[in-house]
Amino acid sequence: MSAPRPVAPIVLGHNAFFGVDHLSAQRGGEREAYFSDPSRVLEIVEAAHAAGAGGMMMSTHERAVPICDLIARSGRLRDGLRIYPLLPYAQKYVTRSNEVGMINVVLEMLSGTSLMGKLSLLWQGSKAALTKDVNAVISAVMQLELKPFRQLDTHAVFLHDTLTDLALALGLRDVFEFYLTEIPRIADAEAAFATKNLPHFLAAFSEWGFPRPLVMTHFNRAGYHMNPDRAQCEQAVAAHPVSVLAMGSLASGYLAPDEAYAYLGGIRNIDGVVVGVSRRSHIDETFAAIKKHMSRA
């Protein structure tokens, strides 16, 4: 396994760029339409980086491809911005497989890959089918998902909370062992996890004897989306070795930045914040509060 690298204290989130808004579908749709032009995304990314963002979270959404290309063309961003992919983007597989079939989904993902790359991935998939090696199939799919990020500084790859929490619920230790070893091998990055069940996750990692994990999870003063509740999440991060990247820190706009980060600054093992911004005014206010209250920012 690769040695853990410190998470960036301020990580730019992707939700606004992809039209995700947990409180307003209309607002999410408006942002999705506005940011359909990748150059507008790049403007925010450049402004956020100049204001102190050291990283960017990006789902393996189809819109990530042109954004990655633009970042790669900027020497300043390519060299100074740590990228944190989040995989898989499950909705992509469901929607496109219903439209064009699963085989065509795979062919679309392979577009732009070199002939040798395609042959290598297809060989892995064929070998897996013959030997019933499920892990080899998963590895090939993960490599396809991560293809747009190869030219960027990828520090950690987060497993989406839907898969993390499903594997936790079923007690599938082997899934975590595989992911912890495979991501460093195929991406030269740390294997990280998103979860909506932090206390259960940390208890399982402790029981299984796994190394200190990098975890992205909801953490905020309002207790918004913190399961089972804020108190138990606070107890869990105090009791276990963990590096937390806090998401949902503003509780979808319910909290003002100053009160939000004054709270997070007093919580042990929270090493970074992933926060979505859609305007320069958001960047100035939010980043100033993070730097004021969180010592590593």
d(CA 217, CA 227): 10
CB < 8 Å & 24+ apart, contacts of 121-128: none
Q: Closest Cα to residue 176, out of 162, 189, 164, 186?
A: 164
pLDDT digits (tens), the chain, 297 positions: 445 678 999 999 987 787 555 455 555 555 556 667 888 889 999 999 999 999 999 988 788 888 999 999 999 999 999 999 999 876 554 444 445 554 455 555 545 545 445 445 454 544 444 445 667 777 878 888 898 899 999 999 999 998 899 999 999 999 999 999 999 999 999 999 999 999 999 999 999 999 999 999 999 999 999 999 999 999 999 999 999 999 999 998 899 999 999 999 999 999 999 998 888 888 999 999 999 999 776
Helix, strand, or coil (residue 265): coil
- Apex CA 147: angle with CA 123 and CA 155, to 5°? 120
Residue 11 CB partners (closer than 8 Å, separation 6+): 53, 54, 55, 56, 57, 82, 84, 245, 272, 273, 274, 275
**Omega before 241 cis (within 30°)?**
no
Is the sign of the CA dihedral 39, 45, 48, 50 positive or negative? negative
d(CA 210, CA 173): 10
Tell me whether strands 243-247 and 214-218 are parallel, antiparallel or unpaired: parallel
**Domain 10-89+155-293 adopts which CATH fold?**
TIM Barrel (3.20.20)
Q: Residue 153 in contact with residue 79, Cβ under 8 Å? A: yes
Tell me whether strands 82-87 and 156-159 are parallel, antiparallel or unpaired: parallel
d(CA 70, CA 66): 6
Q: Element (H or E) spanning 157, and its range?
A: strand 156-159
Helix, strand, or coil (residue 231): helix
Is the sign of the CA dihedral 213, 219, 224, 227 positive or negative? positive
Q: What is the pTM of this model?
A: 0.83
Domain ranges of the chain: 10-89+155-293
CA 183: distance to chain centroid? 13
**Omega before 9 cis (within 30°)?**
no
- Distances from the Cα of 91 to the Cα of 13, 66, 152, 248, 295, angstroms: 18, 19, 24, 21, 37
